């Protein structure tokens, strides 16, 4: 299936016509300053793609034995989405909930009985997906990723760091390994296959979003970098760029690859009440249940601010600032980001969805500052 959103002029969207040009200038400055080699953006509105653009280099072609050919980023390039993956996983969980195959009020141990060990018997799916499970540092070794029986054993062996529900602290990878094993227990299938058959293929996004990157698609993959003051170009290649174990595993909390337009389309589905290009994936009531602020203004101790978490995405809320979505966003805007690289979001009041992805993992404070600048540029340009 081809990409599901038809192209439409940006003049059809409620946004200033020069907004994307101004964003392009900002991104070009970042690249010239060697903050990251390349980037991709996409903007969608009421079922149409009104903007997509790629910048800079997908691969720099120097500094590592595996990085020998410079490659220009284009609109077919695939980017490591990091924790934007959590939204793809959440979409599947919402669908399974709607089908009656699980409930977020259920205990994890209802599906993985051995998870009850080490005091974890009462933890619910709700607590896990809202980062209240109590095991933020739980580790699933990469040596187990290709053997999901061992992955299941690893998550069931997690130890608690604090009482479930007593705190909110971002579970970077641990929570979604648990949720992936619940998906496998419910469906009897590899979670990557279920994601593809139940979410990506019905939406026509199987060529734009990958949880588990096939070898046939690695030529489209941008390489991922991080700052290195000792390198002539200020960057060094990260291991994800060369590890087929990482690429194939589809780590459910952060291992997906995709395009900006793919993420913009996924959020369009949510903005349109669960429908994309005539295909209904979810009901409006399922989305209303999932995309709401369940954690109020409680502080996420990892982030250091309230994150207003729903069952997957987080919301803007009304606090003075918010991570990634832009301080100028409306309170009901929602989205998620990828560590040091990216943010994608949707604005129900305007009907716009937006994705911004880069290929260098850069630390705070610059990372969070630029995310606010990028998102606020879009929000300030919305004309309604």
- Position 1 scores a pLDDT of 55
The pLDDT tens digits of the residues spanning 143-157 come to: 999 999 999 999 999
Residues 214 and 280 placed together within one structural domain of the fold: yes
Supply the mean pLDDT for the chain: 97
Is 294 a domain residue? yes
Residues 300 and 327 placed together within one structural domain of the fold: yes
Distance CA(314)–CA(296), nearest Å, equals 11
Q: Which two tokens stand for residue 207?
A: 């060529």
Q: Is the peptide bond prior to 365 cis by the omega test (within 30 degrees of 0)?
A: yes
Residues 372 and 338 placed together within one structural domain of the fold: yes
Residues 312 and 372 placed together within one structural domain of the fold: yes
Distance CA(61)–CA(89), nearest Å, equals 33
Distance CA(335)–CA(100), nearest Å, equals 25
Query: Among residues of the chain, what percentage have pLDDT more than 90?
Result: 97
Q: How many domains does the chain have?
A: 2
Is 1 a domain residue? no
Is 71 a domain residue? yes
Q: Which two tokens stand for residue 25?
A: 């200038």
Q: Which two tokens stand for residue 215?
A: 């070898």
Distance CA(371)–CA(226), nearest Å, equals 17
Is 5 a domain residue? no
Residues 221 and 268 placed together within one structural domain of the fold: yes
pTM: 0.97
Is 2 a domain residue? no
- Position 345 scores a pLDDT of 98
Residues 335 and 282 placed together within one structural domain of the fold: yes
Residues 230 and 341 placed together within one structural domain of the fold: yes
Structural domain ending residue among the three candidates 190, 206, 236: 190
- Looking at the predicted structure, is the pLDDT value of residue 270 above 80? yes
Residues 80 and 94 placed together within one structural domain of the fold: no
Band (pLDDT 50/70/90 cuts) for residue 243 is: very high
Least confident of 109-118, 229-238, 240-249: 229-238
The pLDDT tens digits of the residues spanning 49-80 come to: 999 999 999 999 999 999 999 999 999 999 99
CATH code for the domain in which residue 21 is found: 3.40.710.10
Residues 157 and 58 placed together within one structural domain of the fold: no
The pLDDT tens digits of the residues spanning 291-334 come to: 999 999 999 999 999 999 999 999 999 999 999 999 999 999 99
Distance CA(327)–CA(305), nearest Å, equals 13
Residues 308 and 181 placed together within one structural domain of the fold: no
Is 216 a domain residue? yes
Structural domain ending residue among the three candidates 190, 206, 238: 190
Residues 147 and 241 placed together within one structural domain of the fold: no
Is 151 a domain residue? yes
The pLDDT tens digits of the residues spanning 84-137 come to: 999 999 999 999 999 999 999 999 999 999 999 999 999 999 999 999 999 999
Structural domain ending residue among the three candidates 167, 190, 213: 190
Range of the domain at 108: 89-190
234-237: which pairs have CB atoms within 8 A and are 24 or more residues apart?
234/34, 235/34, 235/37, 235/60, 235/63, 235/360, 236/63, 236/64, 237/63, 237/64, 237/66, 237/67
Burial level of 51, CB count in 10 A (0-12/13-18/19+)?
buried
Strands 48-59 and 71-72: antiparallel
Is 330 a domain residue? yes
Residues 93 and 81 placed together within one structural domain of the fold: no
């Amino acid at each position: 299936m081809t990409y599901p959103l038809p192209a439409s002029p940006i003049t059809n969207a409620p946004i200033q016509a020069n907004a994307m040009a101004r964003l392009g200038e900002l991104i070009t400055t970042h690249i010239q300053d060697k903050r990251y080699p390349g980037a991709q953006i996409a903007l969608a509105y009421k079922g149409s793609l009104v903007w997509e653009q790629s910048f800079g280099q997908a691969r720099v072609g120097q500094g590592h034995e595996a990085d020998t050919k410079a490659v220009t980023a284009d609109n077919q390039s695939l980017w490591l989405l990091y924790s934007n993956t959590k939204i793809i996983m959440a979409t599947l969980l919402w669908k399974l909930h709607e089908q009656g195959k699980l409930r977020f009020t259920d205990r994890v141990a209802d599906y993985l009985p051995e998870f009850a060990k080490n005091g974890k018997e009462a933890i619910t799916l709700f607590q896990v997906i809202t980062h209240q499970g109590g095991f933020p540092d739980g580790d699933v070794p990469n040596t187990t990723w290709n053997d999901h029986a061992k992955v299941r054993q690893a998550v069931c062996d997690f130890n608690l760091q604090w009482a479930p529900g007593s705190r909110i602290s971002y579970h970077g990878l641990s929570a979604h390994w648990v949720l992936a094993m619940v998906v496998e227990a419910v469906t009897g299938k590899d979670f990557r296959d279920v994601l593809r058959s139940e979410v990506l293929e019905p939406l026509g996004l199987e060529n734009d979003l990958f949880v588990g990157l096939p070898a046939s698609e690695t030529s489209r993959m941008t390489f991922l970098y991080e700052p290195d003051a000792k390198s002539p170009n200020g960057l060094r290649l990260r291991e994800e760029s060369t590890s087929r174990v990482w690429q194939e595993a589809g780590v459910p909390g952060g291992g997906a690859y995709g395009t900006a337009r793919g993420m913009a389309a996924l959020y369009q589905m949510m903005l349109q009440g669960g429908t994309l290009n005539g295909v209904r994936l979810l009901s409006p009531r399922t989305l209303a249940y999932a995309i709401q602020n369940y954690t109020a203004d409680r502080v996420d101790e990892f982030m250091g601010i309230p994150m207003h978490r729903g069952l997957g995405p987080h919301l803007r809320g009304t606090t003075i600032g918010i991570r990634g979505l832009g301080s100028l966003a409306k309170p009901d805007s929602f989205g998620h980001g990828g560590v040091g690289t990216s943010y994608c979001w949707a604005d129900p009041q305007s009907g716009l969805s937006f994705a911004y992805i880069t290929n260098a993992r850069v630390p705070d404070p610059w990372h969070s500052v630029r995310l606010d600048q990028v998102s606020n540029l879009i929000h300030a340009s919305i004309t309604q």
